[in-house]
Amino acid sequence: MTFTLSDPTWYPIASSEDLPFRHVYQGQLLGRELAVWRADDGNVNVWENRCLHRGVRLSIGINEGAELKCQYHGWRYANRSAGCTYIPAHPADAPARRIQNRTYPVREAYGLIWSAANDEQPFRPFPGAEDKDWLPLRPMPVNAEPEDVLAALARLDQYADILPGLSIRSGNVIWFVQPVDAGRAVIRGLLADQPAEPLAELRRYNELLTGLRDRLERAATRKPAPAPLQPIFEKVSADLATMPEIAIPRGNTMTVVVKRKWQSADGVIGFELAARQGHLPTFQPGAHIDVHLPNGMTRQYSITNGPGDLMSYVIGVKAESAGKGGSKVLVETVREGDLLAISEPRNNFPLRRDATRTVLIAGGIGITPLLSMARFLDKSSLPYELHYFVRSGEQAAFRDQLEALHGKVIIHQGLPRDEIAATIATSLGEWSMAQHVYVCGPSAMLESVRATAAAQGWPDEAIHFEYFKNDKVIDNSSSFEIELARSAMTLHVPAGKTILEIMREAGLTVPSSCEQGACGTCLTTVIEGEIDHQDVYLNNSEKASNACMMTCVSRAKSARLVLDI
């Protein structure tokens, strides 16, 4: 038998005890190097041992408990999905959400970690596996061909049974040969039932295997070494790694189950949305999902989860808004066990991870994206302060989650308006290099933070907002021409219609989400013409640059706009 890269057999690749928390184990199976690590939730990840960035080994990376960080370039990959959550050199620190490391199937059973080169076969226990309590012996790496190792093990006991998958049963021991490469193997033994003196037994078997290894390696030097298997490392395509900053097209929807619905605080309903199978996609701190509601509406909600927390997304919905719009349906009619369609997570509110000081300011339901950011900063031991303003009579939502944080978390309850402003001013302080503030809350609060920060020397780039909605009245009385440079089309936009609507009528597919100038999904580059911005998404300097706009609300002050579409 010669080994192939595509052999679908499940082999043991490590012992459970090889994977203490916050360690990355370096393994290999059929020529492929593996980075194997246990996350703090107990899940074991078996990944190709290469960071997608420059091919650096992930086995020298840092296991942060929920994400694995590449030691050299800082790329981070999430537990379970292996989705990249951070690319330091990216303009928005934001990865294209589909970049993910290659993963291999994994199973932890009988004190061993099992994996296979592909998903073709389901994992099956070895014969007699279930009714015993197995003790793994010390593994013994051998520089010899896997079949030779198997043959030598078989010679140890003439009554041994050869089992499928390079394994042998000999008395109360089962031997597995892990094919590391064409010329290398690891012997992994399982002893049935705990011996009276485990340590002495472990030493005895270790001695036996050491002798066997030395004999095998001496024999191996007498014959030509087989050529190592040559796995291929796939590179990330350039367009994925350099995906545009904001205008990410809408991904497909997926179905989630409402696993839990509860009252998180006065006026805030929590929803836990779980995948029907496995885990959900990787997201970044500050990201949101579009929830498709039973009445046909779409609403955006921030994910409150911490890093690598992919078994379900937790969102918060303000009950007060139940009077109108989409949230009413969620609060009133959606029950536990119901199914909902949601979009892939998208991030319009990227968190910089290179700040020396991060100030998070939340008002009311605005806590949701900031909770996710705080959890990330907390896990990464980065300095942050979270100020959460709630009105009198209202309680703080997600209180347990906030209390679990180690950073500076201050809940300001029932402050009068002028005191809120003063508190914001003192918590911000004077700006200095590499400080950033993130704000999410009612528009009055956002404006107050914006003004206070500017007065205290904070530049626009250091102030980050997330608007949930655009409260401004949109003036759509103008009419003008748009020229679509890439599509070679000229269209007329009459009063009362948006650019987005006109483009769609002309048969173009253009992404949008909130359609009120708040989310940034429809961001478009403007090549020529004077823009009448009416959105709340862009900041003042971005607006002044006259280089981009939201096609859902913005219009032209000039007779013509040339768009990069």
Partner 1 sequence: MTITLYDFELSGNCYKLRLLMSILKLRYDIVPVDFFPGRQHKADWFLKLNPFGQLPVLRDGDLTLSDSGAILAYLAKQYDETGLWFPDDPAITAQVLRWHAVGDDITSTASAARLALGFDYDFNIEKAQKSAHRIFRIMDEHLWFGEREGRDWLCSPAHPTTADIACFPYVMLSEEGGISRQDYPALRRWTDRVRRIPGFVVMSGIFPAGRALEQA
Pairing between strand 184-192 and 67-69?
unpaired
Place of tokens 């082999």: 11
Quick check: 64 binds partner 1 (CB under 8 A)? yes
- Binds 386: which of partner 1, ligand FES, none (CB < 5-8 Å by kind): none
Secondary structure of residue 204 in the 3-state scheme: helix
Assess contact for 555 and 477: CB atoms under 8 A: no
- Binds 91: which of partner 1, ligand FES, none (CB < 5-8 Å by kind): none
Quick check: 74 binds partner 1 (CB under 8 A)? no
Nearest to 30 by CA among 146, 188, 148: 146
Cα separation, 360 vs 387, whole angstroms: 6
When binding is defined by CB under 8 A, the residue of 1, 2, 6, 17 that contacts partner 1 is 17
Cα separation, 383 vs 435, whole angstroms: 10
Q: Which stretch binds ligand FES (CB under 6 A): 40-48, 67-75, 501-509, 512-520?
A: 512-520
Judging by beta carbons within 10 Å of its beta carbon (0-12, 13-18, 19+), is residue 375 exposed, middle or buried?
buried
When binding is defined by CB under 6 A, the residue of 537, 538, 548, 565 that contacts ligand FES is 537
Quick check: 515 binds ligand FES (CB under 6 A)? yes
- Binds 542: which of partner 1, ligand FES, none (CB < 5-8 Å by kind): none
Quick check: 552 binds ligand FES (CB under 6 A)? yes
The 3-class SS string of 2-29 reads: CCCCCCCCCEEEEEHHHCCCCCEEEEEE
Residue 111's H or E segment, with its range, is none
When binding is defined by CB under 6 A, the residue of 427, 521, 524, 534 that contacts ligand FES is 521
Assess contact for 274 and 309: CB atoms under 8 A: no
Radius of gyration of the chain (CA): 29
CB of 317 to ligand FES, least distance (A): 19
Site string for partner 1, 124-163 (x = CB under 8 A): --------------xx-x----------------------
- Residue placing its CB nearer to ligand FES in the complex, 250 or 357: 250
**Tokens coding 73:** 């370039």
Site string for partner 1, 402-431 (x = CB under 8 A): ------------------------------
Quick check: 467 binds ligand FES (CB under 6 A)? no
Q: Which stretch binds partner 1 (CB under 8 A): 16-24, 168-176, 362-370, 509-517?
A: 16-24
Cα separation, 225 vs 223, whole angstroms: 6
Taking each helix axis from N to C end, the angle separating 198-221 and 146-155, rounded to the nearest 10 degrees, works out to 120
Q: Which stretch binds partner 1 (CB under 8 A): 17-25, 114-122, 249-257, 347-355?
A: 17-25
Cα separation, 306 vs 315, whole angstroms: 12
Cα separation, 440 vs 182, whole angstroms: 57
For residue 428, report the phi and psi dihedrals to the nearest 5 degrees.
-75, -50
**Tokens coding 106:** 């994994």
Q: Which residues of 193-303 form beta strands (DSSP E)?
A: 254-265, 268-275, 288-292, 298-302
Assess contact for 194 and 202: CB atoms under 8 A: no
Quick check: 510 binds ligand FES (CB under 6 A)? no
Total binding residues toward partner 1, as defined by CB under 8 A: 30
CB of 467 to ligand FES, least distance (A): 9
When binding is defined by CB under 8 A, the residue of 5, 62, 275, 322 that contacts partner 1 is 62
Quick check: 236 binds ligand FES (CB under 6 A)? no
**Contacts of range 322-328, beta carbons closer than 8 Å, 24 or more positions apart:** 325/297, 325/299, 326/291, 326/293, 326/295, 326/297, 326/298, 326/299, 327/299
Q: Which stretch binds ligand FES (CB under 6 A): 257-265, 321-329, 332-340, 510-518?
A: 510-518
- Binds 552: which of ligand FES, partner 1, none (CB < 5-8 Å by kind): ligand FES
Interface of this chain with ligand FES, residues 394 to 453, rule: CB under 6 A: none
When binding is defined by CB under 8 A, the residue of 9, 16, 40, 105 that contacts partner 1 is 40
Strand partners, 312: 274
Interface of this chain with partner 1, residues 493 to 532, rule: CB under 8 A: none
CB of 513 to ligand FES, least distance (A): 5
DSSP for 342-402, written as a single string: EPPPB-SSPPPS--SEEEEEEEGGGHHHHHHHHHHHHHTT--EEEEEEE-TT---TTHHHH
When binding is defined by CB under 8 A, the residue of 44, 46, 51, 63 that contacts partner 1 is 63
Q: Which stretch binds partner 1 (CB under 8 A): 14-22, 323-331, 460-468, 543-551?
A: 14-22
Quick check: 108 binds partner 1 (CB under 8 A)? no
When binding is defined by CB under 8 A, the residue of 56, 60, 415, 454 that contacts partner 1 is 60
- Residue placing its CB nearer to ligand FES in the complex, 10 or 537: 537
Q: Which stretch binds ligand FES (CB under 6 A): 7-15, 280-288, 375-383, 508-516?
A: 508-516
- Binds 144: which of partner 1, ligand FES, none (CB < 5-8 Å by kind): none
When binding is defined by CB under 6 A, the residue of 19, 340, 370, 518 that contacts ligand FES is 518
- How many CA atoms lie less than 13 Å away from 111 in the CB half-sphere? 18
Quick check: 28 binds partner 1 (CB under 8 A)? yes
CB of 59 to partner 1, least distance (A): 8
Cα separation, 138 vs 532, whole angstroms: 71
Place of tokens 């003790």: 135
CB of 300 to ligand FES, least distance (A): 9
**Tokens coding 295:** 């009445």
Quick check: 56 binds partner 1 (CB under 8 A)? no
**Tokens coding 161:** 């049974």
Quick check: 329 binds partner 1 (CB under 8 A)? no
Secondary structure of residue 145 in the 3-state scheme: coil
The C-alpha angle 531, 520, 431, rounded to 5 degrees, equals 90
- Which residues of the chain form contacts with partner 1 (CB under 8 A)? 14, 17-18, 20-23, 25-28, 33, 40, 60, 62-65, 69, 71, 138-139, 141, 186, 198-199, 202-203, 206, 381
Point out which residues bind ligand FES (CB under 6 A). Answer: 512-515, 517-522, 535, 537, 550, 552
